[in-house]
Structure 1
Amino acid sequence: MKLETTGLEDVTIDFDRLSVIMENIGFVLAGQWDYERVTFDRKIQKQGDVYYLRVQAYAVEGEIDGRHAVVKMITPILGKHHYPHGVEYGEGEYFPDDVVNTSKNLLSKVSEAIQMVQ
C-alpha cells in the first residue's frame, strides 16, 4: 500500500542526517542498501500480524556508503508479512485502520524532523 501525501515524496536530504532521523524514530537500515538505493523499515505488530512500514530513497549525489551522499526519497509503502513467503506490499492487502494511522503518524514525525534540519 502506497502512503501518498506524506510530505516525504521527492524530498532530498543528506543521507547521514536521514539515517539519524530514521534511527531516532525506530526505523532500521540493517542490510537494506546498496551504493544507489537505501531502505528503512519499521516493524509494526498488531494482534499476531506483522506489518512493515518501508521508507526508500536513492542517491542523487555520491554513493550511499560514501561521505556526503544526498538521497531523494520516494513514496513510503506499507506491507504485511506472510510466513514463509515474505512481505506483500500490494493494493489487495488488508491493513487495519490503526496500523495505517500508526504508519501515518510515524511518517509525520519523519517529515517534521526533516523540516527541522533543512
Structure 2
Amino acid sequence: MLSIPSTFIEGKHAYYGEIKDAFEERGFVINGNWEYYKAFFDHILHQHEGETIYLRLPIYVLQGKLDRDDAFFEFGQPFLLKHLVHTGIASDDNDFGILDAIGLAQFQKPLDPDDKIEKEDKWRHAGLSAIERLAPIFH
C-alpha cells in the first residue's frame, strides 16, 4: 500500500447520488466489499496479466446508508494498492475445476493482495492525475 496525500479530495464531502455516475464515467467504481458506512471507490491504473494497481479512494458515510443516493460522505486519504492474482491453473487437484481450466475462476485466492509497488513516484503521479480528472465533479 502506498498513500497519496491529496488536499484536492481528502476531506471533501458529497452525496452518493450526485457523484456516482460521473465517477463511474471516469473509471471509479465502488468496490465489492462496501459496507453501509464505509467503502472505497476503486480505479484501475494498470493491469497486466495477474498484476493490477488500484487507486483507492476511501469514503466514510456521515449520514444515511451507502446503498441510497442520499448517503452523505467524506473522502479519506487516497492510496495505491497492487494486487497479484493467479493467472495459471490451480496446482491443487482438489481445487481444480472447469472454470480454472478456461481462466474464468473468479474466486481464487490472490498470490499477494498487497504487493510492493515499484516506481513509487511514477504511480503516485498517475494516481494524482486520475484524482485531478475528478475536479469538474466538485465545481
Within the alignment, does 1:103 sit opposite 2:89 as a pair?
no
Shift of 1:35: 0.8
CA contact (8 A) 1:9 1:75 kept: yes
Structure-2 change in CA distance of 1:80 and 1:60 (3 Å):
same
Correspondence list, 1:49-64, <5 A? 49-64=51-66
Higher Cα Rg, which structure: 2
Within the alignment, does 1:113 sit opposite 2:136 as a pair?
yes
CA contact (8 A) 2:83 2:112 kept: yes
Runs of 4+ deviating beyond 3 Å: 46-49, 95-98
Aligned length: 113
Rounded Cα–Cα distance in structure 1 between residues aligned with 2:124 and 2:47: 11
TM-score by length of 2: 0.69
Structure 1, gaps ≥5 residues long: none
CA contact (8 A) 2:40 2:59 kept: yes
Structure 2, gaps ≥5 residues long: 86-109
CA contact (8 A) 2:38 2:59 kept: yes
Identity, % of aligned positions: 22
Structure-2 change in CA distance of 1:63 and 1:6 (3 Å):
same
Q: Which has the higher contact order (CA 8 A, sep 6+)?
A: 1
Structure-2 change in CA distance of 1:69 and 1:97 (3 Å):
same
Rounded Cα–Cα distance in structure 2 between residues aligned with 1:78 and 1:30: 14
